[in-house]
Each structure stands twice: as structure tokens, then as C-alpha cells.
Amino acid sequence: MRFFPAHLYARDPRLLQIFFLGSFLAAGFIGLGFQLPLWQPPLIIATALGAQWSLTRFTRAPPAGFLSPLISALGLSLLLRTDVVWIPVLTAIAAIASKFLIRVRGKHVFNPTNFGLALAMLVTPHAWCSPSQWGENGALIAWIAILGLAVSHRAFRSDVSLAFLASWLALKGGRVLYLGQKLPVLAHQFSSGSLILFAFFMISDPKTTPDSRAGRVLYAAMVAGFAFYLQHGLWKQNALIWSLFLLSPLVPLIDRIFKAPPYHWPTERTASCLPAVVTSS
């Protein structure tokens, strides 16, 4: 009995992404001791799915299913921290609404999770990210899991993720060498769950990255470079999130320079709602 039939996730890699994010959210509650109120993830998920449904109807957009908003909601649940109940709701609505409202040539500009987080942190001090909440063990398990997935499935081998991680490693490693620090410092800087989420679930979003491979690699390197400057030049917190947020509007420009057909999820043209539950064969 196979829990994830190959024909299903081969059809849509988002299912595997949902499985990964859902597992880490569950692990966060059960073993990793995320200090996150239990009500927050369900609230974010319900709001995001509700917003997707309402906005699809309201804008009369072709139904795009609920996989993407579920991924956005899980990402927000893992990253957003707040002490006020209305912030998760507004963040989830803002995240989903950005897909419908901020579009250039039929393509949305911002990764929804990134947009939601950045907007929440901009408008209220009661929203923040806790980048080290996973601890080293949690981050290590996540690295093993994500690299395992990357080896076994192409959906986790996106060129954007790899280009970003390579750039980030080069910049961070260069800094460690320049400062005369030791390798454990670099290892410590990479033991961050937020970095994994960012590299594999946020910057890699095929709907908001440039259409051409050259554009994507360039974009990933730019995001890494700008984040490095924000973090070590200006000493800003959450540099990766701000960097992606501020550079996302460049994607339409990059698309003009490096032309290629836009990306579509494998099930996007056929599925009109959640794919039916497939039982094991």
C-alpha cells in the first residue's frame, strides 16, 4: 500500500509540498515545541481557502483549485507569529488577495506567503517571524527530508532553489572566511527552518519567478545578494523575506528581457477543485 501513489504526485508536485509542510507543522507541535497557539494554523488555513473561494467567484477567475492556497496557508502557519487574533486572518486574506489583485500580464507578482508576511510586518508591530524557532535538530531533520525529496523528485529540484542556495552559501561562506570564523558558524547559520521554507517553498514558487531559466537564476542570485546586504550591511531582521518582497516587482521586467512561456501547474487546466482523494492501488 503506497501512501502517496506516484501517479498522483507526479501529476501535481504540490501534494508532496503539502505533505512536507503539514508534517513539519505537526512535528512543530508534537516534538519540536513550536511556541505557537493551536488555533492559529486552522484559522489561517480556513481563511486562506475561504478567501480563494470568494475571490475566485468575485473576480470570475477560472477556478484554480485549493492546493496553492493550502500551501500558502501552511507556509504562513509555520512562519507568522503574532499575539493578536485578527492578524492571521488579515495576513491570510492579504496573501490570497495579492494573487488576484496584483498581476502583470496575467501573472501574479508576489509569492502569497511572502506578501502576507511582509505586509503584516509592515502594518503592525504585532506580527513577527521567529527564524530560529526550529532549533538545530528540527532544521537538520528538515534539511535531510528536503534533500531526500530533491533527490527523489524533480519538484524539489527547482533551479531557483538551487541557484538561491548556491548564492547564499557563497555569500555566507565568503563572509565567514573573510571574518576568520570557523565552519561551525556557517553550519549554524544554515540550521534554520525558515531558510529551508524560503528556499524551497517561497522563492521557488514557479508562478512568481521569471519564466526563463536564465531569468530565474539571475533573480535567485539577486534576491540572495540583496538579502545579504540587508542582513549584514543594514542589519535588518528577516532579510530574506524583505529581499524577495522588494525584488518581486522586477520579475515582469526580467520576463521582458528573457522571454519564455509562463509556467502552469500540471493540473491547472483540468482541475476545477481539489483533486478527488485517490485511494492506494
Partner 1 sequence: MLARCRHLFLITTAMALIPGAAQAFCGFYVGKADASLFNDASQVVLVRDGDRTVVTMSNDYKGELTDFALVVPVPSVITKDQIHIGDRKYIERLDAYSAPRLVEYHDPDPCAAVAFARSREAKMAAAPAAVGRDLQERASALGVTVEAKYTVGEYDILILSAKESAGLETWLRESGYRIPPKASAALAPYIRQDMKFFVAKVNLKNQKATGFSYLRPIQIAYESPKFMLPIKLGMANARGPQDLVVYALTRRGRVESTNYRTIMMPTGMDVPVFVKGEFSSFYKSVFERMHEKENSRAILTEYVWNMGWCDPCAADPLTHEELRQLGVFWLDEGTAGSAPGPRGARFGGAVPVTLTRLHVRYDASHFPEDLMFQETGDGQNFQARYVLRHAFQGSLQCPQAEPYRASLDARHQAEARTLSDLTGWQLASIHQKMGKDAPGPEQPWYKRIWR
Give me the least distance between CB of 140 and partner 1, in Å please.
11
Return the residue of 23, 54, 189, 212 that touches partner 1, per CB under 8 A: 189
272 interacts with partner 1 by CB under 8 A: no
Give me the least distance between CB of 98 and partner 1, in Å please.
22
Q: How many CB atoms lie within 10 A of CB 82?
A: 20
Contact 35, 78 (CB under 8 A): no
85 interacts with partner 1 by CB under 8 A: no
- Three-state SS annotation for 170-203: HHHHHHHHHHCCCHHHHHHHHCCHHHHHHHHHHC
Burial class (CB in 10 A: 0-12, 13-18, 19+), 135: middle
99 interacts with partner 1 by CB under 8 A: no
3-state secondary structure of 225: helix
Looking at beta carbons only, is 40 or 267 nearer to partner 1?
40
The pattern of x and - marking residues 160 through 179 that bind partner 1 according to CB under 8 A reads: ------------------xx
3 interacts with partner 1 by CB under 8 A: no
Return the residue of 10, 55, 185, 250 that touches partner 1, per CB under 8 A: 185
Residues facing residue 127 across a β-bridge: 82
Give me the least distance between CB of 91 and partner 1, in Å please.
13
In this structure, is the dihedral angle defined by the CA atoms of residues 15, 17, 19 and 25, taken in order, positive or negative? negative
Return the residue of 30, 35, 62, 279 that touches partner 1, per CB under 8 A: 35
89 interacts with partner 1 by CB under 8 A: no
